[in-house]
Amino acid sequence: MYPLKILLACLALIAGQDAMAQNPAEIVERMDSQMRGESSYAEMTMTIERPRYTREVRFRSWSLGRDYSMILITAPSRDEGTAFLKRDNEIWNYIPNVDRTIRMPPSMMSQSWMGSDFTNDDLVRETSIVDDYSHEILREEEYNGRDAWVIEMIPDPDAPVVWGKVHVWVCKKDYIQLRTENFDQSGNLAQTLELDRIKELGGRTLPSRMIMTPSDKDQRTILEYHKLEFDISEDERFFTQRNMQRLR
């Protein structure tokens, strides 16, 4: 029995060291890379559900690393041509009805994007979930049939983040985001993001649907991917104010 006890103790020690070796910041970075890629192109529909109405917005998006992104609204007709551009630390919004381009200040990043439950920062990200937070693995658990890490993210004091903390569920097998809970500065749950309908998109296994639900309101917003491509040909010269105004 004595050798067996030693063997079990060694296995337990190895398992503990393996768990400690999982760096939560590296897990989040790998999750972000899996979802974003070095560059990508997407076609999506956003459905805004409210007690008295439902509204649908269609758009196309391009991204290059973390510093460049472009979003073009393609429907409904009243919003068609509206565009958003992130280039380095600057974020711009083009409004075709008045042919005007405005620079969005940091104070606008926490505001609703196109009347949805997503913020400007959610869609045209100014903050980094890797660089602007500290990370800690809270626990490991099964979520929707998948083994996952639950990671707590605390924003840095000088980061332009409205949340007091964020909890994110990351699939241990595929490093995909499964769920996110955003808490306010008082520690109360403010909103929940659920990611499901996992399938192959752009050659990767990814959620094709995201559902953002505020905790204190009878409403939600659903984002669905119709097309997703990685490693696109556009470089940083594509992400300009002039191109933002010409896209259709």
Look at residue 87 and tell me if it is in a domain. Answer: yes
Residue reference for tokens 């990814």: 206
pLDDT(39) > 70: yes
**CATH number for position 196:** 2.50.20.10
Domain count of the fold of the chain: 1
Question: For residues 143 and 179, is the Cβ–Cβ distance under 8 A?
Answer: yes
pLDDT(20) > 50: no
Which residues make Cβ contacts (< 8 Å) with residue 201, sequence separation at least 6?
Answer: 208, 225, 228
Of the listed ranges 18-22, 69-73, 143-147, 196-200, the least confidently predicted one is 18-22
Look at residue 10 and tell me if it is in a domain. Answer: no
Which residues make Cβ contacts (< 8 Å) with residue 179, sequence separation at least 6?
Answer: 143, 168, 169, 192, 193, 194, 195
Look at residue 17 and tell me if it is in a domain. Answer: no
Look at residue 5 and tell me if it is in a domain. Answer: no
Look at residue 15 and tell me if it is in a domain. Answer: no
CA–CA separation, 159 and 132 (whole Å)? 6
Per-residue pLDDT of 116-153, as tens digits, reads 999 888 887 667 888 899 999 999 999 999 999 999 99
Per-residue pLDDT of 163-191, as tens digits, reads 999 999 999 999 999 999 999 999 999 99
Q: What's the pLDDT score for residue 9?
A: 45
Look at residue 93 and tell me if it is in a domain. Answer: yes
Residue range of the domain that includes 170: 23-246
Q: What predicted TM-score, i.e. pTM, was given to this entire model?
A: 0.86
Look at residue 12 and tell me if it is in a domain. Answer: no
Per-residue pLDDT of 50-103, as tens digits, reads 999 999 999 999 999 888 999 999 999 999 999 999 998 888 999 999 999 999
Look at residue 230 and tell me if it is in a domain. Answer: yes
